[in-house]
Amino acid sequence: MSVAARVALVTGGSRGIGREIVRGLVAEGWTVAFTWREREAEARSLAADLDGAAHPYRLDLRDRGRPADLVVEIEERLGPIAGLVNNAGVRHDALLAALPDDAWDDLIDVNLGGVFRCCRAVVPRMLRRRAGSIVSVSSLTALRGVAGQAGYGAAKAGILALTRCLAREVGSRGIRVNAVIPGYVPTEMVADAPPERIAALRSTEALPAGVTAAAVADAVLFLLSDRAASITGQSLTIDAGTLA
């Protein structure tokens, strides 16, 4: 990708892993559009910290039409989107027998449907340009069962299948599609988890330092970059050795 074409869209970019991805992309010379849903002040603060290289946009992934409109808005303002990072998501933890339909629907709609709609919005434009890279953030729950996360895990597993299928569809036009699978990462999204649950999640890690948001961001940046020019349809696990 040429420097002039290096515009990225990061969903859920104002906190946690997304924030580290935004910061990392800016440090590598990208212009970044990132989305927020509820915490506008955090998004504006991040944009201010990055001196105009990052631009916040509101996006609720439940809105069917918004991703397509957002892509047009970003490209008209910043230029062609060369990289898409599907990071935004929601959690509704409950044992399956107690999980209401609306919570299940929301998990699938946001965590999987949102990835589908954002990919659908950028892919036709990438196809015309014969260039682009997409990276989606899944979860170790997609590979390793966690009680209380059946809906979340099902949606995150769906991302891995979507990644492989889309990579087959667009590879001939030079577009790469990959995913990352983080293990437990201490971010705001899991701040409400009790200590004993965190200890259980980390009990099988081989590396005592665990997984940081910055480590996940580094993997995403690698997959977006030309250093991963021959990698597509893959899912990179960043789990401190949990699955070793």
Positions annotated as catalytic residues are: 152
Q: Are 143 and 243 in contact (CB under 8 A)?
A: yes
DSSP E strand boundaries for the chain: 7-10, 31-36, 54-58, 81-86, 132-137, 175-182, 235-238
Task: Specify the residue for token string 């957002």.
Answer: 70
Q: Report d(CA 182, CA 137) in Å as an integer.
A: 8
Q: Residue type at 146?
A: V
Q: What DSSP character marks residue 186?
A: -
**Packing angle, helices 16-27 and 40-49, rounded to 10:** 20
